A and B are shown apart, each in its own frame.
Chain A
Amino acid sequence: MPAAFLNPLMLAAMAAVLIPLIIELLHRRRRRILHFPAMRYLLKSAQQKKVRLQDLILLVLRSVVVFVLVLALARPFLKAGSALWSGGRRDVVLVFDATYSAGQRAGATTAFEIGKKMADQVIRSVVRDPRVSVLTLGHRAELVAERSRDLAELRAQVESLRVSDGSARIGQVLELAADFLERQGIRAAELYVISDLQKTTWSKRPGESQDPAALLSRLAGKCRLFVLDTGGGERANCCLARFDPRERVAAVGVENVFDVRAEAAGTPPPEGPLRVSFYVDGQKRGEKQISLASGSAQVAFAHTFLESGERVLKAVVEGDSLPADNARYYLCRVPAAVRVLIFDEAAGQPAAESQSVHLQRAIAPRPWPGFDRFTVFETQVRAPAEAAREDLPAYAVVVLAGVRNLTAPFAARLDQYVREGGRLLIFPGEGLEPYAYNSALYQDGKGILPAEVEAPAAPAAPGKGAFLSLAPPLHPALAHFKGRERLEGGEVLRCLPVKANGAREGAARTVARLTDGRPAIIERRVGRGRTMMVCTAVDGRWSLLPFSRDFPVLMQELLRYLVGDPDGAVNLPVGGCFEQTVLLSAQHLVVAGPDGRKFRVTPVRSGDTQEWRLVFDQTDRQGLYRVDAIPEAMDRRQFAVNLVPEESDLARFDHGEFKARFGAGGLEILDSPAQVRKVSDELHSRKELSTGLLWTLLALLFIETYLAKRFGLRRV
């Protein structure tokens, strides 16, 4: 049936059409009867007919007024498909808040699933000539479907949406929606924001320009706004805010400690002790209990890797209504040892001749029998002439210990090694040729040497030298020595002067100075690598530093600093970008996400180095991502993504608060699929006629009043 009524029972009142007639008849009975002789003055025959006609017109008009009123109250509507339908094109925009708080449990399902059901109701109700667009907000705002007319496909698309692990703010997607509407020239649309009304999502980050309230007001000018409340709002939630190793450099056989920090969001905090579990490659390796009564708690798990390789570590706190933030991952590469290659011209010669004997012992002290390794580092000592046989990239750090001259090929290899991500540590020594170093490695600031070196002055007398200063501000490499003034027992008698100014690529940074102010350790980033130069020898001839009990610690700390965070590139936040050099070819690669999704990615050429790199930023899910590639193509083929715990506070707006804050432009809040269906049906598949009827009624009343006055007869 093309038309029907929303209030069909009202049609029973159609009998009221007889009311004017009944009133007329009753009035006739109640009218005063006058017998009057001078009727001739009251009417001529034509006027009498005119009066009767006027009576009839008013009676009919009054009956029509009642008819139209009853009809309007019965709320007739036209259904889509009716010959009289002129519903017109409908633009419907669905905006999904898919931040990870939408994954919170709401009854037997999750808030996001409820939101999808609501969206499905809206799509089902859009019958004729629809244009439906879908935007989502995860770690960023995205346009998923643009004015789609294929509703079946759209429903499938919506069904396939998953809540992300992102925590972007709603302003991003509202701005995207507003720009989209402007770009498409859409002037009248319906916009449905499907959200759990979490306060964090609906707030504005400091520095962000997207104000949700202002954007909603802007949208209200173009759209009819609906906010579909998916529910939720557990009062308390527990999340893991941090999971990482204390030492970034790991190796087999060396104990590493992993810190886990849990925080409670909302009030009151979860009651009772909670269990935190520690997993390595899926195997549970530890469990501890924490209490979040104070709002947060930190525990540490120690673990010694027994085999080298890439390890997936995971920390989990026992569940609550939002499981997404109850786990964190850490991916670490565990080598058998962190290899350090020392170039010593006296390699193979007796220790007394060696420039690096102290250094070797400091970097990789031999454990006592029956004890575990002390350090993650292991050293290899080679003469510079053997450099051609060594695969420099296989070493985490290359050390030049008192190398006097550098051949051009050797210098070129070192240059390439550093620029491609290697770490170079340089110690001067007796007979060092400043000119050779400057021309081979400094190259007027274009090379890898942190600074131009000069000939060393004569050594100071013992007792007249300087010490390594540890005064603040302390460089991160020396953070271990915080609180001390200088390195005791390591008097420096002779130091290589350096000129730090003039470097063209990056600026040399002073890591430490001597107590007399001269630079003692300088560093510089070059390409993807780093170079550090200690301005005194470590063979014991220029300084007593090798004999200081802090010397091994100093060397370990400098090396750790140089090595940096080898796993930093493979442990990313949601929304972070994974980049890796592709070694073999530019053929596309497949990245598999933790939820089973696969992405086809084509490497891009890096602008400065002209090498191919895989760049992947669709990291909206927490978990482990894998690149389908052979080891020869890429060094690291796995990376872990962790969510940013901003959405863990599940506090949300109630409807009154929400409307007061964001409803200035006018919006309606619906909070159940049934309600959404009802409203959508009214908007899309039906066109109500009662508005037009009420206007008609008003016009009829105006006409009746005018005619009654004109005819000179009173209204019934």
Chain B
Amino acid sequence: MNVEAEARRYFDPRVIARLKGLEVRARRVVEGHMLGLHKSPFRGLSVEFAEHRQYSPGDDLRRIDWRAYAKTDRYYVKQQEQETNLSCQFVLDCSESMSYRGAGPMSKFDYGAVLASSMAYLLLDQQDRVGLTLFDREVRASLPPKGTGGHYRTMLSAMEAVTPGPATMLGSALGKVAAQLKGRGMVAVISDFLDETAAVVHGLNRLSFDGHDILILHVADPWERQFPFTGPSIIHGMENSGRLVCDPSDLRGAYLQARAEHLEELRTACRQLQFDMRECATDEPFDEVLSAVLANRTRITHR
């Protein structure tokens, strides 16, 4: 897929270049009717030879058609085992809190959007399908999974056009996403998760119940992580979460503790539900984040 010619906000070729060769693997068996990398649940069914596919670095060497090589002196992969393609729905939080930009080079939403677009690109590149859901208090936009370049561009456009919403209601949004998804696939939730844990977990449970493979990407700004503010301040909470006149340095301890507790609740819930959860800050390089995520998933699926 070629989108390099078009300059897009959430498409960073450099990131893509660094992620080249990585595969997005589903942890769970997923359904799909196209050939992809993911194990098919449909075992025992005869599959027909469909076509050769040119070898890409990283393909399994056992699947190389040596005869074709002898003949053509090129490497081809014989698609003899039916490969199922993956549907990955990116659920991206576009509430007001995600528009916060502190110490990081970009806002959390932008960061999440780049993560989503980069991962989506990889997925499309491995013939998987990608979809996008933007939500705040409610679902703002929903693009069902597709595998075309045009759909990818549509996704990018949707992310570029969205404006931050007033509040986050992740739990109810995830419920709606679950209702919209057809077939088991992967759901990557990208958010700052500034919502009640119980509601979030309820929504994730719904997705998990439907058999989806959930990837949680918790995005935070470095200032949210460190809370380094000092001096007399008036703190206005985004999403009308309140106002406080104080010296933040006096509340730092309590803030970090409260945040740690909240994240621990989230992690515990994800562990229990066997979700992947990765916390990332907006100042972390995208490729490192995605590499770590994808490598982890690769490691898991190769066991």
Complex Cα gap A55–B250 (Å): 14
B237 touches A48 (CB 8 A): no
**Is residue A1 contacting chain B, with contact meaning CB distance below 8 A?**
no
Residues on B with C-beta less than 8 A from A42 are 235, 237, 242, 244, 251, 254-255, 258
With A39-B244, A41-B258, A48-B242 in contact, is A714–B250 under 8 Å at CB? yes
Number of B interface residues in the complex (CB < 8 A): 34
Does A455 sit at the interface, judged by CB under 8 A?
Answer: no
Given contacts A28-B234, A713-B250, contact A38 B194 (CB under 8 A): yes
Q: How far, in whole Å, are A28 and B236 apart by their CA atoms in the complex?
A: 13
Contacts of B231 in A (CB 8 A): 31-32
Contact, CB under 8 Å: B194 / A33: no
Interface flags for A680-716 (1: CB within 8 Å of B; 0: not) read 0000000000000000000000000000000011100
* CB-based contact B224/A38 at 8 Å: yes
Known contacts being A39-B244, A51-B244, is A34 close to B233, with CB within 8 Å?
Answer: yes
CB distance from A163 to the nearest CB of B (A): 73
| Partner of B100 from A27, A31, A35, A713 at Cβ < 8 Å | A35
Given contacts A43-B242, A713-B247, A714-B250, contact A37 B237 (CB under 8 A): yes
Rounded to whole Å, the gap between the CB of B182 and the closest CB of chain A is 33
Interface residues of A in 70-121 (CB under 8 A from B): none
Question: Inside 8 A of B246's CB, which chain A residues have their CB?
Answer: 51, 713
- Whether A37 contacts B238 in the complex (CB less than 8 A), given A42-B255, A43-B244, A712-B251, comes out as yes
- B239 within 8 A of partner (CB): yes
Residues of A within 8 A of B213 (CB): none
The answer to whether B248 touches A31 (Cβ under 8 A) is: no
Shortest C-beta distance, A33 to chain B (Å), equals: 5
**What CA separation (Å) do A713 and B231 show in the bound complex?**
10
Name the one of B224, B232, B256, B258 contacting A37, with C-beta atoms under 8 angstroms.
Answer: B224
In the complex where A41-B259, A714-B250 touch, is A35 in contact with B229 (Cβ < 8 A)? no
The contact string, 1 if C-beta is below 8 Å from chain A, for chain B 212-239, is: 0000000001011000010111111111
Contact A39 B241 (CB under 8 A): yes
User: B236 touches which one: A35, A38, A40 (CB < 8 A)?
Assistant: A35
| Nearest CB in chain A: distance from B80 CB, A | 51
- Please tell me if the beta carbons of A32 and B97 are within 8 angstroms of each other in the complex: no
A633–B258 Cα gap in the complex (Å)? 116
Contact with A along B42-66 (1 / 0, CB 8 A): 0000000000000000000000000
B residues 245-294 near A (Cβ < 8 Å) are 245-248, 250-251, 254-256, 258-259, 262
- Chain A residues within 8 Å of chain B by Cβ, number: 22
Using CB atoms and an 8 Å cutoff, list the residues of chain B in contact with chain A: 96-98, 100, 192, 194, 221, 223-224, 229, 231-239, 241-242, 244-248, 250-251, 254-256, 258-259, 262
Among candidates A27, A36, A41, A51, residue contacting B232 with C-beta atoms closer than 8 Å: A27
A183 in contact (CB, < 8 A): no
Cβ of A714: which chain B residues have Cβ within 8 Å of it?
A: 232, 247, 250
What are 21 A-B contacts defined by CB distance under 8 Å? A31-B245, A32-B231, A32-B232, A32-B233, A33-B233, A34-B229, A34-B234, A34-B236, A35-B100, A37-B192, A37-B237, A38-B97, A38-B194, A39-B235, A39-B242, A41-B259, A42-B237, A42-B244, A43-B244, A48-B244, A51-B246
Interface contact B251-A31, CB-CB below 8 Å: no
Q: Bound complex: CA of A28 vs CA of B244, how far in Å?
A: 11
A30 interfacial contact with B, CB 8 Å: yes
Q: How far is the CA of A33 from the CA of B244 in the complex (A)?
A: 10
Find out whether the CB atom of A31 lies under 8 angstroms from the CB atom of B232: yes
Contact A40 B241 (CB under 8 A): yes
Which residues of A have CB within 8 Å of B223?
36
Complex CA gap A33/B221 in Å reads 18
Contacts of B229 in A (CB 8 A): 32, 34
A27 to B232, CA, bound (A): 8
* Contact assessment for A36 and B234 in the assembled complex, using a CB-CB cutoff below 8 Å: no
B58 to chain A, nearest CB (A): 39
The residues of A with any CB-CB pair to B shorter than 8 Å are 27-28, 30-43, 48, 51, 55, 712-714
Q: Are A37 and B96 in contact (CB under 8 A)?
A: yes
Known: A36-B100, A38-B259, A41-B256. 15 other contacts (CB 8 A): A27-B232, A31-B245, A33-B233, A34-B236, A35-B236, A36-B238, A37-B241, A38-B194, A38-B224, A39-B238, A39-B242, A39-B244, A41-B255, A42-B254, A712-B250
Residues in chain B near residue A35, CB distance under 8 A: 100, 235-238
Closest to B238 in A: A37
- Pair A28/B245 contact, Cβ less than 8 Å: yes
**A81, chain B: closest CB distance, angstroms:** 50
Majority SS at the chain A contact face: mixed
**CB-CB nearest 3 A-B residue pairs:** A39-B237, A37-B97, A712-B250
For B96, B98, B241, the residue with the greatest tally of chain A CB atoms inside 10 Å of its CB is B241
A169 to B254 Cα, complex, angstroms = 79
Chain A hits for B255, CB < 8 A: 38, 41-42
Which residue of chain A has the shortest Cβ distance to B239 in the bound complex?
A37
Contacts of B254 in A (CB 8 A): 41-42
Other-chain residue from B192, B239, B245 in contact with A55 (beta carbon distance below 8 A): B245
| Contact yes or no, B233 A31, CB < 8 A | yes
Query: What residues of A have a CB within 8 angstroms of the CB of B250 in the complex?
Result: 712-714
Residues on A with C-beta less than 8 A from B251 are: 42, 712
Residues of A contacting B235 with CB < 8 Å? Answer: 34-36, 39, 42
| Minimum CB–CB distance for A530 against chain B, Å | 106
Closest chain B residue, CB of each to CB of A37:
B97
- How many Å lie between the Cα of A611 and that of B113 in the bound state? 136
A622 vs B297: C-alpha distance when bound (angstroms) = 127
Q: Are A30 and B238 in contact (CB under 8 A)?
A: no
Determine how close the nearest CB of chain A comes to the CB of B112; give it in whole angstroms: 13
Please tell me if the beta carbons of A37 and B245 are within 8 angstroms of each other in the complex: no
Tell me which residues across on chain B come within 8 A of A713, comparing CB atoms.
Answer: 246-247, 250
Compute how far the CA of A41 lies from the CA of B235 in the bound complex, rounded to whole angstroms.
12
Shortest Cβ distance from A138 into chain B, in angstroms?
Answer: 75
Chain A residues in 8 Å Cβ range of B100: 35-37
**A657 to B79, alpha carbons, bound, how many Å?**
121
A31 to B: closest C-beta gap in Å: 4
A36 in contact with B237 (CB, 8 Å): yes
Name the CB-closest residue of B to A54: B246
Tell me, in angstroms, the Cα distance from A51 to B235 when the chains sit together: 13
Cα–Cα distance between A35 and B240 once the two chains are bound (Å): 10
Cβ–Cβ contact B234 & A37, under 8 A: no
Most chain B Cβ neighbours within 10 Å, of A31, A32, A40 = A40
B248 neighbours in A (Cβ, 8 Å): 34
Residues of A within 8 A of B234 (CB): 28, 31-34
Complex contact B236–A36 (CB within 8 A): yes
CB distance from A52 to the nearest CB of B (A): 9
Of all chain B residues, the one with the shortest Cβ separation from A32 is B233
A713–B232 alpha-carbon span in the complex (Å)? 9
The docked-state distance in angstroms from the alpha carbon of A488 to that of B250 is: 122
Query: Are A40 and B247 in touch, CB under 8 angstroms?
Result: no
CA distance A34 to B230 in the complex (A): 11
Q: How far is the CA of A714 from the CA of B256 in the complex (A)?
A: 20
Chain A min CB distance to B15 (Å):
25
Min C-beta distance of B264 to chain A, whole Å: 13
Nearest residue (CB) in B for A38 is: B224
Q: Give chain B residues whose Cβ lies under 8 Å from the Cβ of A30.
A: 232
B255 (CB) vs chain A CBs: closest residue: A41
In the complex, which residue of chain B has the Cβ closest to the Cβ of A30? B232
Residues of A within 8 A of B233 (CB): 31-34
A707 to chain B, nearest CB (A): 13
Chain A residues whose C-beta falls within 8 Å of the C-beta of B192 in the assembled complex: 37-38
Q: Which residue of B lies closest to A34 (CB)?
A: B235
Chain A residue nearest to B233 (CB atoms) is A32
Q: Of B239, B244, B254, B259, which is in contact with the most chain A CB atoms at under 10 Å from its CB? A: B244
Most buried by B among A28, A30, A31, A51: A31
Bound Cα distance A48, B250 (Å): 14
Q: Of A27, A33, A34, A41, which contacts B262 at CB under 8 A?
A: A41
Question: What is the chain A residue whose CB lies nearest that of B257?
Answer: A41
B190 → chain A closest CB, angstroms: 15
By beta carbon, the residue of chain B nearest A711 is: B250
A33 to B255, alpha carbons, bound, how many Å? 18
